[in-house]
Structure 1
C-alpha cells in the first residue's frame, strides 16, 4: 500500500509523542514492504529526502514566523500536496489545525484519524479557542473514514458524544534496561532519595496540586519538576509560588532520553498529574522505567495503571501518599506488574502491527 502520515512536525523525532510514533511506525511499514511517506515541516532540522527508506515531503511551515496560525497553513500545505500523490491511505495524527481543511482531502484515499485527547478541555486555552477545538473535533469525525482512539476513555467518549465507532490502539513504549547511577551525579541526587514529575507547565497536568501536597506533607526530599518553565506564564507562576521551598527544584526541560529514563528509574515516587488525553506517552515511559507511580485519579490513567499505582485528586491525598510511602522497594509488585504490561500490551512491535492489521482490514473493504 501507499501510505502517508500527516499531522506531525516530521521525522526523525525531535519534538513529541506523535512524532515518535510516526518515526517508529513509518520505518516499520517500510520494512514490511509498503511505500511510506511522512510529511515534515520545512523548518525541521533534518532536510534529507528520505529517512531509513521512508520518503519525506517537506512542506512550508511558517509557524516560527507568524505563530499558531502557521500550523493551519502548514497542515493545508500538506493536504494540498497529498491531493496529487494518489495515496491509498492517509493517516492523520490529531485534528487541531487540519480538520478545517477536510474538504480538500483526496476523495480516493482512505482517511484514518487518530483523535488524540480531548484538546478542547485544556484550560490553557481561552473559551473561544476551546469552542473552536470542539468544533474541529466534530469536523475531524465527519472528514474521516475511520477513527483511532488511543485510550478506552476516548473510545467511549466518541461513541457517547458522536455515536461513532473507533478502533482502540494505544501508544507504544519500551522497557528501560540500562540504568546508570552516574546520571544522578549531574543532578546532585541519590537513588530513591528524591521524588519527581515530568510535564508541560499547564494547569490540567495537576502540577500546582502536586506541589501544594509536597509543601503540606513537609517532605524534605528533593522534588524535581521537569518541564520547560522559563517561557511559560504558568511555569513562571509556579516557580514564584514555590520559591521559598528549596526542596522543590525546577530543573527545566530535559530532552536527553537516557537522562529522563534514569531519573525515573532511580526516583522514589513519580507523580503523573495529567487529566486530559488518552494513553499518555510519558506515563508508559514511567511504567517501563521502574517508577513507583502516583497518578491523578481519572479514567484515562486508571485504565492503564489499574491497581498498580497510588492515586490522588487533591493536595491532601498527595500529602498523605508522601507521608506514608517512603520506600519504593516495599511496592516491587507494582513495579513488576507495570513492567509486564509494557511487555505484553504496549511494545512498539505490537502497536505497529495492530495499526497495520487494521489498515489492511479496512482498506480491503474501502477498495
Structure 2
C-alpha cells in the first residue's frame, strides 16, 4: 500500500473550491492500494475530525488561501520530511519555492497539479504574478510528474518548459442529487461563478440586458467592488435575477436541472469545475470562446466572444430544437466519458 500525502488545499470535508472537491473524491473513490493523508487548515474547521473517507487528516494552524498559502504549503512539506510518504501530491504551486530544499532531504515521489496558470489571472498584481510564475517554473523542474487539467495547459507546459505532462481533468458527477427527482424544465438560462472580471460576468449581463430572455446568475456579488457595481447596475432588469451564493447541492441541482441553457464565461484556469458539472445535466452550453473551453467541450458547444456574439447565439438557436438537443446530448456524453470522479481517481492512482 502506498502512502500519499496531499498538500495545497483547505482540506476535507470539502467546503471551498475545485481542489477541495478533487481531494474529497480522490479519497472517496480510492482503492485498497492507496492510503491518503490530507493536510487541512485548522482555521477552516471548528470540528477537527481525525479521519474522513478513510484518509488521515493533519491540521495546520495557518490559512490555506491568500498570503498564508505559501507558508501553509511549506509547513506541510516540512511535516512530510518526518512522515516520509511514498508520494507527495501538490495541488497548486504556492509553496513550490521550497520544493528544491524538500527534494534534498526526501525520496518521496512528487506529483504536482500546477492548476490553471494562476499567474495569468487578472486579480494578481505585478509582484504576485512574477512570484507565481517563478513558483510554477520551480514546480515543473523539481516534480517527478506534472499534471495539467486541460490539454491547452499541457501544451503550454510542453512549449514553455519542454516537460512531458499528464492530462487529468475534474469530475462533475458529484453534483447529481439522489434526493431530488422529476424536475421540470423552466424558461431561464443559468450562469454560476465567482464574480471576477476574467469570468466575463459583465459581458454576460450586458448580453441578457439586450434581450427578453431570462437569466439567473449565481455568484459572490458582495465580495468585491466589481461585483457590487454589477449587482447595482443589473438588478433592476426584470429578466435578470441576481442571486447570492448557493452552497446547498440539492438547491443547485434544481437550478441546473430546470435551466434551458448554461452560460459559461470563464476565460482562464484550464478545465473549470463549474463547466464539467454543468455538462452532466444534458443542457446546452454557451461557453466563452477560448482554447480551454473548446478543449473541455470538444468543440461541440455554442461559443461567444462578445456580448453581441452571445445575443446572436442565444436568439438564433432559441427554437432550433435539433441543434439544442445535439449540443445537450454531446455535453452529457463527454461528461460521462471524461468527467466522472471514479475515472479521475483511477487516473491519479496510476501516477503513484
User: TM (normalized to structure 2)?
Assistant: 0.92
Residue from 83, 98, 103 that aligns with 1:101: 98
Aligned position for 1:118:
117
Q: How far is 1:328 from its partner?
A: 7.8
Aligned position for 1:199:
193
Q: How far is 1:240 from its partner?
A: 2.5
Residue from 90, 93, 96 that aligns with 1:92: 90
Mark the CA change 1:232 to 1:89 in structure 2 (over 3 Å): closer, same or farther.
same
Unaligned runs of at least 5 residues, structure 2: none
- State the distance in 2 between where 1:240 and 1:129 align: 30
Aligned position for 1:210:
204
- The answer as to 2:59 corresponding to 1:58 is yes
Instruction: Indicate the larger mover: 137-146 or 240-249.
Output: 240-249
- State the distance in 1 between where 2:342 and 2:82 align: 31
Mark the CA change 1:328 to 1:20 in structure 2 (over 3 Å): closer, same or farther.
farther
1:21-73 superposed Cα distances (whole Å, 9 cap, x missing partner): 111112333x423222111111232411111321111111146xxx8222222
Mark the CA change 1:147 to 1:62 in structure 2 (over 3 Å): closer, same or farther.
closer
State the SS of the aligned residue for 2:153.
helix
Aligned position for 2:341:
348
1:305-354 superposed Cα distances (whole Å, 9 cap, x missing partner): 12431100011101112222324854222222221222222221111111
Alignment of 1:143-222 (within 5 A): 143-174=142-173, 176=176, 180=181, 191-216=185-210, 218-219=211-212, 221-222=213-214
What is the number of residues matched between the two proteins?
345
- State the distance in 1 between where 2:199 and 2:260 align: 20
Q: How far is 1:176 from its partner?
A: 3.3
Mark the CA change 1:62 to 1:116 in structure 2 (over 3 Å): closer, same or farther.
closer
Aligned position for 2:21:
20
State the SS of the aligned residue for 2:308.
helix
Unaligned runs of at least 5 residues, structure 1: 183-189, 360-367
State the SS of the aligned residue for 2:16.
coil
Mark the CA change 1:344 to 1:57 in structure 2 (over 3 Å): closer, same or farther.
same
Q: How far is 1:263 from its partner?
A: 1.1
1:56-100 superposed Cα distances (whole Å, 9 cap, x missing partner): 11111146xxx82222222222111111001110000111x2112
Alignment of 1:1-367 (within 5 A): 1-29=2-30, 31-45=31-45, 46-62=47-63, 68-95=66-93, 97-105=94-102, 106-174=105-173, 176=176, 180=181, 191-216=185-210, 218-219=211-212, 221-327=213-319, 329-330=321-322, 331-359=324-352
